[in-house]
Amino acid sequence: MTAGLPLRDSRRDVVPAPRRFGLLSSRLGIALYLLLPNHWVQKCLSPEEQVLIRKGNQRHNTQRPDYADPTQYQGGTGYDSLIDPRRERSRRRLVAFLDRVRPASVVEIGPGSGYLTKTIVEHPAVCRYVAVDVNEAFLSYLDQRLASVSKPGFTYSLVTGTVDDLPADCVDAAVMLSVVHHIPGRENLFRELALRLKRPGHVLAIDPTHYFLRWYKLIRKISRGGYLSHHLAEAQLGKLSTHAMCQLSKYRAVTQSAGFDIVRVEFDDHPRKVRRLAGAGVPLGPLWRWTSQEMAIECVQH
């Protein structure tokens, strides 16, 4: 009964709340979720959808069979593996970063099964190693291995959670190897990271890029029958996770606003033809970036 109520209140009772367009509620929305850059997608998600994605992220990072059992991660490539040719470029970039910065203490965000962890802890400059990962299974796996590092004065600690769970001013440098594309809130990531670094803190991030070849691959997948319907059902069950690859422009914006300057950018994993053109000295301008599939950025606090 609303007859005795003022008009404003009675209307509130009968008029349904306007329904906003939900990115995760239609196949078109899912296509946009996959294709658009991360920061646009994050702006378009409703709070309820953000909760679903957080649930999907937690699930992906802890329950996917190869994440739940670290010995299965990346086909068994981990801390104990000898050189893996697929990861060699990242390992070389990491060594070059450690050689340049020579940090005494390093935090690795999302070490996984630690293929690159060994390179960090064995670097002569590094005395203290901190790992933070949302997946406790990875950290237990690493614990057994880190305990046997026989470097004089070497210490380590393992933190289950995110960068927000680290103490302030705790390390000289941070590395994120294939991790940023799993984290939707990049402003928060870099802002919180800035507080955890001893000034001037250094960061190395290596991740897949979100340019032409990523779009091309996604469009091919999307045009396969059933792909979007499957992802729509997964999204609504809280099983869709963040795999939003990175773009340089967004890195520039988030690092700048968190007090970092980007001091080095390298693009990799180009098609052979593009590499050949670049090798022949053809000036490719932004095409070099747009045809890359991996990007390494290094930044330092100003």
Ligand X SMILES: C[S@@+](CC[C@H](N)C(=O)[O-])C[C@H]1O[C@@H](n2cnc3c(N)ncnc32)[C@H](O)[C@@H]1O
Q: Crossing angle of helices 248-257/186-196, nearest 10°?
A: 50
In the complex with ligand X, which residue's Cβ is closer, 84 or 234? 84
Q: Are 163 and 133 in contact (CB under 8 A)?
A: no
Check the CA dihedral 88-89-93-94 and report its sign. negative
As measured in angstroms, the least distance from the Cβ of 4 to ligand X is 52
As measured in angstroms, the least distance from the Cβ of 77 to ligand X is 7
Binding site for ligand X (CB under 6 A): 61, 109-112, 115-116, 132-135, 138, 162, 177-179, 182-183
**Phi, psi torsion values for 83, nearest 5 degrees:** -60, 130
As measured in angstroms, the least distance from the Cβ of 287 to ligand X is 27
As measured in angstroms, the least distance from the Cβ of 45 to ligand X is 17
In the complex with ligand X, which residue's Cβ is closer, 66 or 278? 66
In the complex with ligand X, which residue's Cβ is closer, 173 or 179? 179
Integer CA distances (angstroms), 17 to 9, 13, 27, 228, 264, in order = 13, 10, 23, 28, 49
Structure tokens at 284: 């490719």
In the complex with ligand X, which residue's Cβ is closer, 138 or 190? 138
203: CB partners within 8 A, 6+ apart: 173, 174, 175, 176, 190, 193, 197, 255, 260, 297, 298, 299, 300
As measured in angstroms, the least distance from the Cβ of 229 to ligand X is 26
Q: Crossing angle of helices 212-222/27-35, nearest 10°?
A: 160
As measured in angstroms, the least distance from the Cβ of 116 to ligand X is 6
Angle at the Cα of 15 (from 9 to 20), degrees rounded to 5? Answer: 125
Check the CA dihedral 135-137-139-141 and report its sign. negative
In the complex with ligand X, which residue's Cβ is closer, 116 or 130? 116
In the complex with ligand X, which residue's Cβ is closer, 23 or 175? 175
